[in-house]
Amino acid sequence: MSRDVEPRLLRAFVAVAEELHFTRAAVRLYVAQQALSRDVRRLEAALGAALFVRTTRAVELTVDGERLLPLARRVLTAHEELAAAFAGPRPLLVDLNTDGPSTARTVLERARELAPDCELMARFESGLTHAAAEVVAGRLDVSFGYADGLDPALRARLAQQPVRYEPLAVLLPDGHPLAGRAEVPLDALAGETVYAGAGNPRTVEWTGLARELFAGRGIELAAPAPVAMGKEEFRRVMAKTRNPVLASVDFLDLPGSVKRPLVDPVPLSPLSMVWRKGFSHPGLHALQQAAAQIAAERGWLDVPPASWRPAALTGVPGGG
């Protein structure tokens, strides 16, 4: 067995082990599938062990592959840390979910003040389910959202820091009977069909939170529909469907609609910051510090009376 194993070969192995699909792993690493297969064969030859069972229908890890996976991850993490220690910090890619006012943007702006020598680059991935997979794959560094709503296997690869219990609001089309109210009691939405991203694979965690919130209240979840991109397209779809839209209170104002906070109870969306386990960067430390500072200053992690949170946090079915 060769004692020298190139990190590239371990990267190829880890990608295939996590995707269990050579084509998806090749896309993830931006390499040709033939090159990826060749690297895996080279690693198997160097170790003197078969790492995958390949059939025409599936790819599975062998016992040796299962044994290698945690070791390979640790080696790659150490390699990244070594490179970072001598190359200086690269730009940190921070997903804010949406390009507009938000809790995440507030944290990012404070972190830029705390670490002016770091380059913190904003990205807008429109959903934590998608962004978290990008973080695990190394194409993003940090994202924000309802982390407890992620698939457990994906969540297990992430570290997280609670940032805020975000009060929720509803976007109502102009002229809607509830639009004249300063705030909307949750039960006033009974009989309404509310859009919360159903069918959007990027926002599965958000749709799940909405489904739990609406359960037993006579509020229907709008059927899957193409995502409206851009303010003008949103206005057109809102005017056509007349469906209210679940949002956070900080969500940007959009044409053709009014935003009203939800009350009785106040629904809270638990917003966390997530990053890859084992990842370290000065910009990440600044984000962690910024989130903690602002949460303390503004009471972001206080739970007001007569509020609702999902059962993942309360342990009570139906929230509380």
Residues 206 and 133 in one domain: yes
Which pLDDT belongs to residue 311?
A: 86
249 has pLDDT over 70 = yes
Q: 8 pLDDT band (50/70/90 cuts)? A: very high
In a domain, 147, yes or no: yes
Boundary residue ending a domain (34, 67, 87): 87
Which pLDDT belongs to residue 58?
A: 87
Of 17, 158, 4, 14, nearest to 76 by C-alpha is 14
In a domain, 314, yes or no: no
Boundary residue ending a domain (27, 59, 87): 87
Q: In whole angstroms, what is the distance from residue 236 CA to residue 242 CA?
A: 10
Note the pLDDT tens digit of each residue in 118-172: 999 999 887 899 999 999 988 999 999 999 999 999 999 999 999 999 999 998 9
Backbone angles phi, psi at 117, to 5 degrees: -85, -10
Q: Residue written as tokens 């009376």?
A: 305
Looking at the 3D structure of the chain, how many domains does it have? Answer: 2
- CA distances to 21, 49, 87, 267, 273 from 37, in Å: 11, 15, 30, 49, 35
Instruction: Give the residues across from 54 on adjacent strands.
Output: 59
59 C-beta neighbours (distance < 10 Å), count: 17
pTM of the model: 0.71
Q: In whole angstroms, what is the distance from residue 247 CA to residue 261 CA?
A: 9
In a domain, 234, yes or no: yes
Q: In whole angstroms, what is the distance from residue 248 CA to residue 250 CA?
A: 5
Span 219-235, mean pLDDT?
A: 75
In a domain, 180, yes or no: yes
In a domain, 316, yes or no: no
Residues 155 and 256 in one domain: yes
In a domain, 319, yes or no: no
Q: In whole angstroms, what is the distance from residue 138 CA to residue 60 CA?
A: 23
Q: What is the CATH number of the domain that holds 167?
A: 3.40.190.290
Encoded tokens for 128: 């934590």
Q: Residue written as tokens 């906070």?
A: 261
Spatial contact of 16 and 25, defined as CB atoms under 8 Å apart: yes
pLDDT averaged over every residue in the chain: 89
24: containing domain: 7-87
* 294 CA to centre of own chain: 21
Boundary residue ending a domain (35, 70, 87): 87
Q: What is the CATH number of the domain that holds 80?
A: 1.10.10.10
Residues 19 and 112 in one domain: no
Residues 217 and 301 in one domain: yes
257 has pLDDT over 90 = no
- CA distances to 150, 209, 297, 303, 319 from 313, in Å: 13, 12, 23, 12, 8
48 has pLDDT over 80 = yes
For 153-180, letters b (16+ CB in 10 Å) and e give ebbebbbbbbbbbbbbbbbbbeebebbe
Q: In whole angstroms, what is the distance from residue 85 CA to residue 288 CA?
A: 20
Residues 145 and 46 in one domain: no
Which pLDDT belongs to residue 315?
A: 55
Residues 117 and 223 in one domain: yes
Note the pLDDT tens digit of each residue in 199-219: 788 899 999 999 999 999 999
Note the pLDDT tens digit of each residue in 261-293: 999 999 999 999 999 998 999 999 999 999 999
Instruction: Give the residues across from 247 on adjacent strands.
Output: 169
Q: In whole angstroms, what is the distance from residue 238 CA to residue 251 CA?
A: 16
* 65 CA to centre of own chain: 28
Which pLDDT belongs to residue 198?
A: 74
Residues 111 and 248 in one domain: yes
Spatial contact of 238 and 173, defined as CB atoms under 8 Å apart: yes
In a domain, 53, yes or no: yes
Which pLDDT belongs to residue 59?
A: 92
Residues 147 and 291 in one domain: yes
Residues 67 and 146 in one domain: no
In a domain, 101, yes or no: yes
Residues 112 and 78 in one domain: no
Which pLDDT belongs to residue 320?
A: 56
Which pLDDT belongs to residue 88?
A: 62
Q: In whole angstroms, what is the distance from residue 140 CA to residue 121 CA?
A: 10
Residues 61 and 176 in one domain: no
Q: 316 pLDDT band (50/70/90 cuts)? A: low
Which pLDDT belongs to residue 202?
A: 87
Q: In whole angstroms, what is the distance from residue 154 CA to residue 133 CA?
A: 7
Residues 93 and 234 in one domain: yes
